[in-house]
C-alpha cells in the first residue's frame, strides 16, 4: 500500500546546522510507526515537516499525495485539520477546563451544534479514560492525565493521521504503560495512522507496527519491531543496547 506520508530526499538546516540530510521515509497507512534516534537527531522536526510547521530546504513531504510545502494560508489551515498533533507537554490552555480544551478544535474548526460537540467531547474523554475530569482545570491533573487530555484534543476531530511527540517522557512505568495502551486504543478506534517520536524502547516495542531510526539526518533503519531488534546495523544495535562504544559518539 502507498504511504500516508512520503518524505522524499529531504534536506533541512537551521542556520549552519544541517538537521536532515537526504532523509527518506514512507509511513504505512493504518499502522503505528515509531521514530527513534538520539536526542537532537531531528525526530520532532520530522513531525513538524509532516504537519507543515516546517518546510524543507530541498525534497518533498507528501501527505496523502499532497505536497505540504506547496500549501499556504487557508489551504494549509484546512490541511492541518486532517492531522492531530499531541504535543510533548500537552499544551493545554490553563484557563480552560479539560472539556473546554478538548472541545476547542471542534468549536474553532467546525460548525457542529453545541450538543453534538459536548457528546463528542464526552465520548473522546471516555476513550482516554478521563470522563470523570471533564470539568477539572489542567492544574488539577497529574502528568499522565495531562498527556491523555492532550491526546483527546488531538483526536477529537477524528483525524486520519495523529502525530505524538514524546508521549511518555517523564512518566513512571505505570503511567507509561497507560499512555502506550491509550495510543494503541486510539489508533484502533480511529482506524487511522499514527507516528510516534519516543526514546522509551519498552513502550515502542509494545505499540509499534514499524520502527524507523534517524541518525545523522537520515533514516538508517526501518522495519517491524522484530526486524529492528535483529538489525545488523551497528548504529541500531548500539542505540538499542545503550552501549557507550560504537559509531554513535557520546
Q: What is the pLDDT along the chain (250 residues), one digit of tens a residue?
A: 457 899 999 999 999 999 999 999 999 999 999 999 998 889 999 999 999 999 999 999 999 999 999 998 888 888 888 899 998 877 899 999 999 999 999 998 888 899 999 999 999 999 999 999 999 999 999 989 999 999 999 999 999 899 999 999 888 999 999 999 999 999 998 888 999 999 999 999 999 999 999 999 999 999 999 999 999 999 999 999 998 888 888 7
| Full-model pTM | 0.92
Buried/exposed 72-89: b ≥16 CB within 10 Å, e otherwise: eeeeeeebbebbbbbbee
pLDDT at residue number 2: 57
In a domain, 133, yes or no: no
In a domain, 57, yes or no: yes
pLDDT at residue number 226: 97
pLDDT at residue number 110: 84
pLDDT in tens, 149-196: 999 999 999 998 999 999 998 889 999 999 999 999 999 988 889 999
In a domain, 228, yes or no: yes
Q: Which cell numbers hold the place of 153?
A: 484534543
Cβ atoms within 10 Å of 244's Cβ, excluding its own: 8
pLDDT at residue number 1: 45
In a domain, 14, yes or no: yes
Total domains, the chain: 1
Containing domain of residue 47, as a range? Answer: 5-82+159-241
pLDDT at residue number 49: 95
In a domain, 167, yes or no: yes
In a domain, 222, yes or no: yes
CA dihedral 220, 222, 226, 232 (to 10 degrees): -30
Asked if 32 contacts 206 with a C-beta cutoff of 8 angstroms, the reply is: no
In a domain, 52, yes or no: yes
CATH classification of the domain holding 228: 3.40.50.300
In a domain, 21, yes or no: yes
CA dihedral 222, 166, 105, 28 (to 10 degrees): 10
Q: Of the candidates 37, 73, 60, 94, which has an alpha carbon nearest to the alpha carbon of residue 228?
A: 37
CA-CA-CA-CA torsion sign (172, 187, 99, 126)? negative
Amino acid at each position: 500500500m502507498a504511504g500516508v506520508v512520503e518524505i522524499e530526499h529531504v534536506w533541512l538546516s537551521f542556520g549552519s546546522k544541517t538537521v536532515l540530510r537526504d532523509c527518506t521515509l514512507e509511513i504505512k497507512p493504518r499502522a503505528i510507526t515509531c521514530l527513534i534516534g538520539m536526542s537532537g537527531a531531528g525526530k520532532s522536526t520530522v513531525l513538524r515537516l509532516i504537519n507543515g510547521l516546517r518546510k524543507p530546504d530541498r525534497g518533498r513531504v507528501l501527505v496523502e499525495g499532497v505536497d505540504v510545502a506547496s500549501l499556504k494560508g487557508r489551504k494549509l489551515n484546512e490541511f492541518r485539520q486532517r492531522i492531530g498533533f499531541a504535543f510533548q507537554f500537552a499544551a493545554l490552555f490553563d484557563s480552560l477546563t479539560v472539556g473546554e480544551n478538548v472541545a476547542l478544535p471542534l468549536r474553532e474548526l467546525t460548525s457542529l451544534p453545541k450538543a453534538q460537540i459536548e457528546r463528542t467531547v464526552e465520548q473522546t474523554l471516555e476513550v482516554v479514560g478521563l470522563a470523570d475530569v471533564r470539568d477539572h482545570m489542567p492544574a488539577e491533573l497529574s502528568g499522565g492525565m495531562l498527556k491523555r487530555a492532550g491526546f483527546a484534543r488531538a483526536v477529537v476531530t477524528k483525524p486520519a493521521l495523529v502525530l505524538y511527540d514524546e508521549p511518555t517522557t517523564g512518566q513512571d512505568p505505570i503511567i507509561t504503560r497507560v499512555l502506550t495502551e491509550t495510543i494503541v486504543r486510539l489508533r484502533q478506534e480511529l482506524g487511522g495512522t499514527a507516528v510516534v517520536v519516543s526514546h522509551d524502547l519498552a513502550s515502542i516495542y509494545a505499540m509499534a507496527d514499524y520502527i524507523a531510526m534517524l541518525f545523522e539526518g537520515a533514516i538508517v533503519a526501518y522495519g517491524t519491531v522484530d526486524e529492528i531488534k535483529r538489525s545488523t546495523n551497528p548504529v541500531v544495535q548500539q542505540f538499542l543496547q545503550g552501549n557507550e562504544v560504537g559509531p554513535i559518539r557520546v
